[in-house]
Amino acid sequence: MERRTLLVRLNRYLSMCGITSRRKAEQLILEGKVRVNGLVVKELGWRVDPERDVVEVDSRVVKPLKRRYIAFYKPCCYLTALGPAKGGKKTIEEFIKDIPERVYPAGRLDYNAEGLLLLTNDGELASRVMHPRYGLPKTYLVWVWGKVSQETLKKMEKGAQLEDGFAKPISVRLVKHEKNGSLVEVVFHEGRKHIVKRFVSHFGHKVLRLKRTSIGPISLGKLKPGQWRDLTGEEIRKLKKAVGLLEEGHGRPA
């Protein structure tokens, strides 16, 4: 079977190599600092074959970094940060120290919250996952004090005015009533600070526990607190599609 060549824009390729951002890569190209197969290329739309073409920046051959896309179950009472403990609080660093690539969180979870975090060294994907423009739905399980009534659920569905603006979830449903409380599933497309806790508290229910179970097409699955796994190829494809990062077309130049 004939090999199908997947070409990428030169500025994107430089970003994939960890050289700089796409925008700054364009400047390098315009300045004549980039060569493809020994020839200076100044066309911003030029595309390269990552497997066959030799790309140089200032006479140094550059190659794409090994990309890692990881689903991680952040435990409660850990900071969504890298590095050693800060202010007496532990960070998630201790759980991912054996990953050779330098991955970082695409988004965050509150100190007292737990659940799904996406970790990656793909800067552009991380940026889009976090950007409100792409509106990735995020699903949370919320354990609250007291019985949440059907009337309250209907009010939640309509949204609420918080101190930093109106907040309306994509969906809200009662999972079950418990002895002294309730378990509610809330789905938001935005990630304002403490938005889930503030939203639920607005209706008179104290949040006892908060767990994020999915981000867009990626679910927590069977992971336990502190565990992580690499995303499958299909999960990566779905995630990139959700934030508009699938390759567009082939050929050179664009």
Active site residues: 110
Domain CATH code at residue 165: 3.30.70.1560
Residues 50 and 156 in one domain: no
Residues 48 and 113 in one domain: no
Query: Is position 252 within any domain?
Result: no
CA angle 45, 49, 51 (to 5 degrees): 155
Residues 148 and 165 in one domain: yes
Q: pTM higher than 0.85, yes or no?
A: no
Query: Is position 251 within any domain?
Result: no
CA distance 64 to 14: 8
Residues 152 and 207 in one domain: yes
Residues 164 and 210 in one domain: yes
Residues 211 and 143 in one domain: yes
CA distance 18 to 174: 45
Do the beta carbons of residue 247 and residue 2 sit within 8 Å?
A: no
The pLDDT of residue 107 is 92
Last residue of a domain, one of 64, 80, 100: 64
Residues 150 and 200 in one domain: yes
The pLDDT of residue 114 is 98
Structure tokens at 42: 């100044």
The pLDDT of residue 22 is 80
Residues 171 and 142 in one domain: yes
The pLDDT of residue 251 is 39
The DSSP call for residue 125 is H
Number of domains making up the chain: 3
Last residue of a domain, one of 64, 86, 105: 64
Residues 43 and 89 in one domain: no
Q: Write out the residue range of the structural domain in which residue 228 sits.
A: 68-134+222-246
Read off the pLDDT of residues 168-206 as tens digits, 9 standing for 90 and up.
Answer: 999 999 999 999 999 999 999 988 889 999 999 999 999
The pLDDT of residue 228 is 98
Q: Beta partners for 48?
A: 8
CA distance 190 to 113: 16
Q: Which residue stretches of the chain have pLDDT < 70?
A: 1-5, 247-254
Closest CA to 53 of 23, 20, 14, 27: 14
The pLDDT of residue 5 is 58
